[in-house]
Structure 1
Amino acid sequence: MKGFLPVILLCIMAVTASAQITQDATKQLRIYEDDDYFNVWGRGTDRGYSNGSSIGYLYMKKKKSVFLDKWILPAAGRNAVNVFEWSAMQVMITPNQIADTSFNPKDFYYAGALYATHGLTSYNPEKKYSFHSEFVFGVLGPWAFAKETQTFFHKFIGYQPPRGWEYQVPNAPLINYSFTYEKMLWSPVDYLEIIGSANAKLGTMTTAVSALTYIRAGLFNPYFGNRCLPVAVKKRFQLYAMARPQFTFTGYNALLQGGIFKSRDTNFEELSNYQQTRMRHFSIGMDYGIGIVINRATISYTQKTRTEWMSGTGKHSVGNITLLIPISRKTIPGN
């Protein structure tokens, strides 16, 4: 992880934080990587939310949704542009001193999660709003193989091995539902958009609500697309800067507090009795970056900074690299 940073910064000069639709590509591959050593200010770390890796398949379809898709993944009107997705992701959280073999009650627990996501982003081009809904299912704890992943990559790049995974949170199932609403607030000119957003999550992984504002300026196609395909994809080259201030209230986070079966694990219960830091319910964050889109492909880098998640651990910043690669030249189904 750490050894890759100079190469990445040389190869990647830009990016965007938003997985905006590409209306002339009905199938896309998304590669997504969070790492707290990615830092535009050169202050990378290896603690807290340390890493998140994901690969996803985004697609449009003509066939109407049935069963769960119809009921839990709502569309933004009859004429919405609908982008479905399947993805797999692994995340890990570690304390500040990963070389320490003892438990530190003033820091994060070791925690890993492995889960799949099925979701829908539905854009309404006329009314300029969107719904993003997703269903998450997976596992927390040793079943997520976060220890093995971090150990392998640290050995691969010649970095210090993590030695405290024996203190990680216990195994537990993860089932979550998330819903996000976005609405255009102000766009006085073609090169400026301000979008308001609200998000809610509920389940055994995370229960939280957030309020966000997405601001971007530069050269880009309309965020909510357009029913007229030539208008929606008019700019084949896009370059813009973005910022996303946000406020979050978190009621529960299994990676920070342990999963729903933590009371059945006597070893973890004993650690919890000594734990001195506690999850912060309120946090403030800021995402910022720049973006490049060439034809139908997007490469992205976003710096995501948050106030402390756990009391006494301080604010934290994670860099994100995202690639959106089109794998189909078809237009929107029905157009």
Structure 2
Amino acid sequence: MKVFLWGIFICLGTLTIAQAQITQNATRQLRIYEDDDFFNVWGRGTDRGYSNGTAIGYVYMKKKKSTFLDKWIFPKAGPSAINVFEWQLMQVMITPNQIADTSFHPNDFYYAGALFATHGLTSYNPVKKYAFHSELVFGVLGPWAGAEQTQRLFHRLIHYQEPEGWGNQVPNAPLLNYYFSFEAMLWNPVKSLEITREIGIHAGTMMTSLGASLYGRYGLINPYFGGTDLDAATRRKFQLYIFARPQFAINLFNALLQGGIFRSTDTNFEELTDQQTSYMRRFTIGMDYGVGIGIGRTTICYTQQTATAWMSGTGKHSVGNITLLIPLSKATYFP
């Protein structure tokens, strides 16, 4: 399995690209997103902790004024803002270190899976160089999410060991979350270097946390927050750059690590909780880094996401991410 996956990783790794790239010159885009802890630039892939996350999304701009949720819960960054909306469907899974063992490991992660949709808005202010990102998340946690079936199917396809401990997963629960962040330019001494700062908050039945980060990138780039002149803002048809994002988080609740809002009503999970010796870390720090390429309106991104232990005793963890943005429209739209 690892030889097979490493071959895929090398092919995709040659086309890597940045996160949070503005879609100012493509009104409709398809986004394909894959997290996997086997993806690792240092060749130290694993199959534990946050093991996999797969998503497909639709990113778009619109001429019509927003109504209902888009109007009331997604703030815009001023009257001259560039507003990029999105819909996304995502499945994630978390597993302990020994997936071939049917027994419960009290000093490790629970098995957990979530299936959810997100709807959000990233609103850029190209004049004052700041952005709001707001997002509504709704879905399910537990067996309803189908993570067990997904992992079993994939492991059979690549002839890898069967995951046998899904009988110990967190119970079913609804997920409803809201996320909001503010990002602003911190330092932009030359066109090839940008550093931004960001603070964000998650609240709801999926997770509640507060985080802050810096994001820096260097290379052949278009302006991070876009521009009032479309031609100037998209002057580079080829982009190539490296980036890094140091960050920290204060974690108050995470349903994938602790169980959802109905965990106390599940007798089997209560027994597992009584045995559990590992606990969620309240403070985590991490570093995301990678390299990006943009060719016209197509971008592809590889990010290595490294963080301190989410659960006590499980050690630091690293997950690779590949994100591909494919334009679906030829026409550009700039409000």
Residue number in structure 1 paired with 2:97? 96
Residue number in structure 1 paired with 2:27? 26
Q: Quote the sequence identity (%).
A: 66
Residue number in structure 1 paired with 2:61? 60
State the alpha-carbon separation in 2 of the partners of residues 173 and 114 from structure 1: 10
Between the two proteins, the alignment pairs up a number of residues equal to 334
Q: Which amino acid aligns with 2:308?
A: T
**Superposed displacement of residue 214, structure 1:** 0.1
1:109 maps to 2:97: no
State the alpha-carbon separation in 1 of the partners of residues 179 and 317 from structure 2: 23
State the alpha-carbon separation in 2 of the partners of residues 5 and 25 from structure 1: 32
Query: Where do 5+ consecutive residues of structure 1 fail to align?
Result: none
**Superposed displacement of residue 235, structure 1:** 0.1
Residue number in structure 2 paired with 1:86? 87
**Superposed displacement of residue 333, structure 1:** 4.4
**Residues 225, 333 of structure 1: CA spacing in aligned structure 2 closer, same or farther, 3 A cutoff?**
closer
Q: Which moved more, 1:3-12 or 1:142-151?
A: 3-12
Residue number in structure 1 paired with 2:10? 9
**Superposed displacement of residue 297, structure 1:** 0.3
Residue number in structure 1 paired with 2:121? 120
Q: Which moved more, 1:62-71 or 1:9-18?
A: 9-18
1:316 maps to 2:317: yes
Q: What's the CA shift string for 1:136-183, capped at 9, x where partnerless?
A: 000000000000000000000111010000000000000000001100
State the alpha-carbon separation in 1 of the partners of residues 6 and 205 from structure 2: 34
Q: Which amino acid aligns with 1:195?
A: T
Residues 76-225 of structure 1 aligned to structure 2 (within 5 Å): 76-225=77-226
**Superposed displacement of residue 203, structure 1:** 0.2
State the alpha-carbon separation in 1 of the partners of residues 11 and 124 from structure 2: 35
Equivalent residues of 1:214, 1:242 under 8 A apart: yes
Equivalent residues of 1:284, 1:306 under 8 A apart: yes
Residue number in structure 1 paired with 2:330? 329
**Superposed displacement of residue 23, structure 1:** 1.7
Give the root-mean-square deviation of aligned CA atoms.
Answer: 0.9
**Superposed displacement of residue 94, structure 1:** 0.1
Residue number in structure 1 paired with 2:39? 38
State the alpha-carbon separation in 1 of the partners of residues 31 and 285 from structure 2: 27
Query: Where do 5+ consecutive residues of structure 2 fail to align?
Result: none
Runs of 4+ with deviation above 6 angstroms: none
Q: Any idea what SS the aligned residue of 1:272 has? A: helix
TM-score normalised by L of structure 1: 0.98
Residue number in structure 1 paired with 2:253? 252
TM-score normalised by L of structure 2: 0.98
Q: Any idea what SS the aligned residue of 1:222 has? A: coil
Equivalent residues of 1:62, 1:333 under 8 A apart: no
State the alpha-carbon separation in 1 of the partners of residues 200 and 279 from structure 2: 24
Residue number in structure 1 paired with 2:301? 300
Q: What's the CA shift string for 1:221-255, capped at 9, x where partnerless?
A: 00000111101110000000000000100000000
Q: Any idea what SS the aligned residue of 1:161 has? A: coil
State the alpha-carbon separation in 2 of the partners of residues 87 and 324 from structure 1: 13
Q: Which amino acid aligns with 1:233?
A: T
